[in-house]
Amino acid sequence: MPAVTAGTPVTEHYCDCDNCGPQQSSLRLFTLSSVVVMGENMSKRLKLLSSDGDPEDRSFHNPHPDWDPGTASADSEADEGPQGPIEDGKVSASFERRVQSKIKDLLLQMEEGLKTADPHDFSAYTGWTGIALLYLQLHRVSGEASHIQRALDYVKRSMRILNGRRVTFLCGDAGPLAVGAVVHHKLGNSAESKDCLSRLLQLQASVLSPDGDMPDEILYGRSGYLFALLYVCKELGAEAVDEAMLSQVVITIIESGKSFSAEQKKFERCPLLYEWHKKQYVGAAHGLAGIYYMLLQPSAKVHPDMMAELIRPSIDYIRHKRFRSGNFPSSLSNESDRLVHWCHGAPGVIHLLLLAHKVFKEDKYLREASDCAEVIWQRGLLRKGYGICHGTAGNGYAFLSMYKVTQEQKYLYRACKFAEWCLDYGTHGCRIPDRPYSLFEGMAGTIHYLSEMSNPEASCFPAFEL
């Protein structure tokens, strides 16, 4: 665990799913007050003993009829017309108008709310870099110059308060530095962009050091640094990162997984195995799915032999851990089918399966991804709220990804219905997150998702998808 500097608030970003990190055990955390701000964690919370509860406690019953190809659409109640949010195979103009109007409204609320946010939280996950990423996205879809300017303001604010404690894109210094390099690049500030990039690359020393405490998962570990490298390669060009250096990071992650698998005597079944806080998590945020997803990226340039002998059998190992429902366990030792979040469960694993389908060209991966989509449609409207990490918006990205791969109208319809749910932000009695305006827990993430409706083909799960 990283040291906490005296005088700074404790901002451990265990994704707030009741399931991960040292806080979990049998305790569940409840927010006491609705007047919560980013960073005010424990002061407004009370730990209460609780049972696991049943799935109904975690999600709302999905009230929408599913897509019906026979009638072009299943939903005729909405005021978009007889075809609901979809018209002629596309998001309808009237639905798009509703979404745009809500985005404006939520942006105002978010900016107001951020005035009371934790000034020290620079992270992409819950802090200022996440807000910069939102404005980068809004600039991407609208082309408005004011949005890129806002992205710059927020990322500069982040870069003034880096603390050198973590290396990842989501929770460490790599996020602001990578986003800074990209924003400056887009604005033609070449020297500033190069400076950010060079500082990002300097972080590799701690990633490569044989530090037993450095995890490999996305939020705090090596694959979260790997994402930062792949992100700048995508945005600035492959030459931004030296190939040998990229390869060293990849090899370090692979060696770490091989060594832990051997230690656990699982090398035959799962040649790349990882743990975080003594648990072998499966999901995207802290677990195997997130690590394999990064290693499987074509831009990570993993050698084909390693793909075939190490990564592919490891993916197949976790495939066999799936529940009958199509959902995935939160960790290898957990047999209860509870969480349907991006951080834990099908909404994270689906992205791995879709990428595996693309890379290995086998239908079984796509079939299982579509099973994930079914369980997300049934149980994905979460009581935890409308966010990205463990909320309805993050779950909606699963449908966008399915749509991009299959071009099936059903998935575009489902993505729109989850967006429609988000249009009624705050009216369902959901829990209020600790950082209610942030990218991964709160409103910024919801706006990010809503903004995808204007061009679903180009959607991109923030800080994860490449």
Contacts with Zn ion by CB under 5 A lie at 15, 17, 343, 389-390
151 vs 388, beta carbon nearer Zn ion: 388
17 vs 463, beta carbon nearer Zn ion: 17
Rounded CA-CA distance 54/184 in Å is: 48
343 vs 447, beta carbon nearer Zn ion: 343
User: Nearest distance from residue 418's CB to Zn ion, in Å?
Assistant: 17
Locate 384 and state its tokens. Answer: 């935890």
User: Nearest distance from residue 335's CB to Zn ion, in Å?
Assistant: 20
Rounded CA-CA distance 464/183 in Å is: 18
Among residues 412, 420, 399, 419, which one has the least CA distance to residue 87?
Answer: 412
Among residues 23, 22, 30, 21, which one has the least CA distance to residue 53?
Answer: 30
User: Nearest distance from residue 259's CB to Zn ion, in Å?
Assistant: 28
The Cα diameter of the chain in Å comes to 63
Q: Is 390 annotated as a binding residue?
A: yes
The tokens 């991964």 sit on which residue? 440
Rounded CA-CA distance 436/34 in Å is: 10
Angle of CA points 226, 232, 236, to nearest 5° = 155
User: Nearest distance from residue 136's CB to Zn ion, in Å?
Assistant: 22
User: Nearest distance from residue 1's CB to Zn ion, in Å?
Assistant: 19
Cβ 176 vs Cβ 162: under 8 Å: yes
Q: Is 448 annotated as a binding residue?
A: no
- Which residue number places its CB atom closest to Zn ion? 15
Q: Is 430 annotated as a binding residue?
A: no
Locate 430 and state its tokens. Answer: 């959901």
Rounded CA-CA distance 85/306 in Å is: 44
User: Nearest distance from residue 343's CB to Zn ion, in Å?
Assistant: 3
17 vs 133, beta carbon nearer Zn ion: 17
H helices of 237-308, where?
243-263, 288-295, 304-306
User: Nearest distance from residue 424's CB to Zn ion, in Å?
Assistant: 22
184 vs 390, beta carbon nearer Zn ion: 390
Cβ 314 vs Cβ 360: under 8 Å: no
Cβ 132 vs Cβ 154: under 8 Å: yes
User: Nearest distance from residue 153's CB to Zn ion, in Å?
Assistant: 27
390 vs 417, beta carbon nearer Zn ion: 390
Among residues 105, 103, 106, 129, which one has the least CA distance to residue 117?
Answer: 129
193 vs 334, beta carbon nearer Zn ion: 334
User: Nearest distance from residue 341's CB to Zn ion, in Å?
Assistant: 5
Helix (H, G, I), strand (E, B), or coil: what is residue 46? strand
Helix (H, G, I), strand (E, B), or coil: what is residue 382? strand
Cβ 94 vs Cβ 419: under 8 Å: no
H/E stretch holding 86 reads: strand 86-87
168 vs 261, beta carbon nearer Zn ion: 168
17 vs 373, beta carbon nearer Zn ion: 17
Rounded CA-CA distance 95/295 in Å is: 37
180 vs 347, beta carbon nearer Zn ion: 347
* Residues belonging to the chain: 466
Q: End-to-end CA distance of the chain, in Å?
A: 28
Among residues 377, 259, 214, 284, which one has the least CA distance to residue 20?
Answer: 284
User: Nearest distance from residue 20's CB to Zn ion, in Å?
Assistant: 8
Helix (H, G, I), strand (E, B), or coil: what is residue 303? coil
- Binding site as annotated, residues for Zn(2+): 343, 389-390
